[in-house]
């Protein structure tokens, strides 16, 4: 197995995940099979209990793993299906070691960070690296490992030591280290500064790891003098100084690396030049350049509770991007804090209230994504009601679906206090209830998670017609992450009133898809279709939303029904 390790220095948030994904894209374009591992040094077992405000979205995998959002980048860029074991955390490693100690596996030895924790890290990496993730048999050729955090962080020290040992044990020709660092420009001086990167590399070398390539983040392309200084003082060949400067969209990053012959440097280090082919990135280039030249856009109102940090909805944003590009449009996302739409906001913050409603009314479609807790729920209901009554295309995901059911129950059926028991345990009309098998005391990994099958109840529904282009109009497999579900006791009454539950699970008791007939596009889904959206292969539901917003949905469905 060949390993490519991506580390970061100077500051966090440099884009190590995109860099790791882009390196994988270029190597894959050279004819190699690639897998990925993300190391997160935090003590949490997984990302499931972490706040979206602090950590961004929780990405869900087919096997139910709640993982770091960088694994979403890997899946989208490389078109692979990862497992929860591809995300290593300090919590997972320590838990596995402590479990072994409790069983007596260490035969009375004193359990220490070195060698027991470091050995567990190496064993985990070597085990996961050979697990195929691309649907083919046998291990991949290259495993790209991203080490989260910044070199020098206390919590990452055991991982640095384990990776140092791994580099020694696998041999020089099987290990390539790429260090991502910042090249700042001070406003007063206007000069590209290399000193932060020099110090970062020096600290990395002091820990026993020497970078083979430098990936330098900067606003503008690096000057030759800057590259020369970096090469001289960081002991990295001039040709291995890569510059990842700001680009119009992140799909240019693999092209930027290709143009700087990054693949040749990596392949030479890994002794793979003899089996690799020149990188084939025609489709990728077309995708990146086409987006740059798009001029028309579509306005999308995103009504949520975590709009203060857009990474909270990263996969939703990417899915909208994929859908818009397939329609030759740029997404223009208007972020609306759900609480700003509520009546209380009109009194406390009237300007924000007026601006939120003006934004909502000027949007071509409305999307209410998932979330937890009761903050902003009334605002989401108002958004759903506005879309329903004014024939504005609407997509509700997870909580967004439940919101649409609650709003319909209140406005159409007249159940003024209808609610989810998540928000009101004493509601007389609990149209959304707690799932029976879910723990009420523990939060981590206790939801309905991962890929589950949904069976269409009728081939005439909009969702079925959208999914048929991917080869199946009878069922779909999408990823879930929820604790609450629509109460099956109310389904008959809701359907009589006009709300149709067109998708159910295999038992027929769990409502997965709801639609409102005679509406341009009013769909709510219990699952998260954004997690499986890919560049060039957008999620059917996101595509349907954008098509409906541009009044092209009927023609699209008709063309596919006729085999076009």
Catalytic residues: 398, 528, 530
Interatomic CA distance for residues 94 and 410, integer angstroms: 49
Instruction: Judge contact between 481 and 66, C-beta under 8 A.
Output: yes
Q: Which helix (H) or strand (E) holds 267?
A: helix 262-269
**Pairing assessment for the beta strands 419-420 and 365-368 based on DSSP bridges:** unpaired
- Look up residue 99 and give its two tokens: 């479990």
Interatomic CA distance for residues 341 and 379, integer angstroms: 5
Residues near 63 by beta carbon (within 8 Å), at least 6 away in sequence = 83, 84, 450, 451
Interatomic CA distance for residues 79 and 213, integer angstroms: 25
Interatomic CA distance for residues 324 and 300, integer angstroms: 10
Task: State the distance between the two ends of the chain, measured CA to CA, in whole angstroms.
Answer: 44
The strand order across the sheet containing 484-486 reads 419-420, 430-434, 484-486
Residues near 384 by beta carbon (within 8 Å), at least 6 away in sequence = 366, 368, 394, 396, 400, 403, 404, 407
Q: Which residue has the tokens 């409102």?
A: 516
Closest CA to 143 of 272, 236, 45: 272
Q: Which helix (H) or strand (E) holds 397?
A: strand 394-397
- Look up residue 272 and give its two tokens: 């793979």
CA distances for 449 relative to 65, 324, 482, 505, angstroms: 7, 28, 7, 14
CA distances for 452 relative to 10, 156, 224, angstroms: 42, 35, 53
- Look up residue 106 and give its two tokens: 């260490």
CA distances for 525 relative to 117, 215, 461, 515, angstroms: 42, 41, 13, 9
Alpha carbon 455 to its chain centroid, in Å, reads 25
Closest CA to 528 of 467, 478, 458: 478
CB atoms inside a 10 Å sphere around CB 536: 12
* Rg of the chain taking only CA atoms, in angstroms: 25
């Amino acid at each position: 197995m060949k390993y490519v390790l991506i580390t970061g220095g100077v500051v966090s948030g440099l884009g190590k995940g995109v860099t790791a994904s882009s390196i994988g894209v270029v190597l894959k374009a050279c004819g190699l099979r690639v897998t990925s591992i993300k190391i997160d040094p935090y003590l949490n077992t997984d990302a499931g209990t972490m706040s979206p405000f602090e950590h961004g979205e929780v990405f869900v995998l087919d096997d139910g793993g709640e993982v770091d959002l960088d694994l979403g980048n890997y899946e989208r860029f490389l078109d692979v299906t990862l497992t929860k074991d591809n995300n290593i955390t300090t919590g997972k490693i320590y838990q596995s070691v402590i479990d072994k100690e409790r069983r007596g596996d260490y035969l009375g030895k004193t359990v220490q960070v070195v060698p027991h924790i470091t050995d567990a890290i190496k064993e985990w990496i070597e085990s996961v690296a050979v697990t195929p993730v691309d649907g083919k048999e046998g291990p991949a050729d290259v495993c790209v490992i991203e080490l989260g955090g910044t070199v020098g962080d206390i919590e990452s020290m055991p991982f640095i030591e384990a990776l140092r040992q791994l580099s020694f044990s696998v041999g020089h020709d099987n290990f390539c280290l790429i260090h991502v660092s910042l090249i700042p420009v001070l406003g007063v001086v206007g000069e590209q500064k290399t000193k932060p990167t020099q110090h970062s590399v020096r600290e990395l070398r002091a820990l026993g790891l020497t970078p083979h390539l430098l990936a330098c983040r900067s606003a503008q392309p690096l000057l030759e003098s800057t590259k020369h200084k970096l090469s001289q003082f960081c002991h990295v060949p001039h040709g291995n100084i890569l510059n990842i400067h700001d680009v119009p969209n992140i799909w240019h990053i693999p092209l930027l690396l290709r143009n700087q012959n990054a693949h040749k440097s990596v392949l030479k280090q890994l002794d793979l030049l003899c089996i690799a082919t020149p990188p084939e990135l025609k489709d990728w280039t077309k995708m990146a350049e086409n987006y740059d030249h798009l001029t028309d856009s579509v306005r999308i109102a995103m009504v949520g509770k975590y709009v203060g940090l857009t990474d909270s909805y990263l996969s939703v944003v990417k899915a909208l991007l994929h859908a818009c590009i397939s329609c030759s449009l740029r997404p223009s996302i208007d972020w609306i804090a759900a609480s700003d739409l509520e009546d209380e906001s009109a009194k406390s913050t009237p300007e924000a209230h007026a601006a939120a409603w003006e934004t909502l009314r000027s949007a071509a479609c409305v999307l209410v994504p998932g979330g937890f807790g009761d903050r902003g729920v009334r605002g989401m209901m108002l958004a759903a009601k506005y879309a329903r009554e004014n024939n504005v295309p609407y997509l509700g995901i997870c909580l967004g679906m439940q919101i649409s059911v609650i709003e319909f129950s209140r406005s159409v059926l007249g159940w003024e206090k209808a609610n989810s028991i998540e928000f009101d345990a004493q509601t007389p009309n609990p149209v959304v209830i707690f799932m029976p098998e879910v723990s009420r005391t523990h939060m981590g990994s206790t939801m309905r998670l991962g890929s589950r099958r949904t069976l269409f109840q009728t081939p005439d529904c909009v969702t079925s017609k959208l999914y048929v282009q991917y080869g199946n109009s009878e069922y779909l497999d999408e990823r879930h992450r929820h604790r609450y579900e629509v109460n099956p006791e109310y389904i008959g009454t809701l359907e009589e009133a006009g709300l149709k539950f067109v998708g159910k699970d295999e038992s027929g008791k769990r409502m997965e898809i709801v639609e409102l007939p005679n509406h341009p596009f009013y769909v709510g889904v219990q699952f998260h279709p954004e997690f499986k959206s890919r560049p060039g292969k957008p999620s059917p539901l996101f595509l349907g939303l954008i098509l409906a917003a541009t009044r092209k949905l009927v023609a699209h469905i008709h063309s596919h029904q006729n085999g076009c």
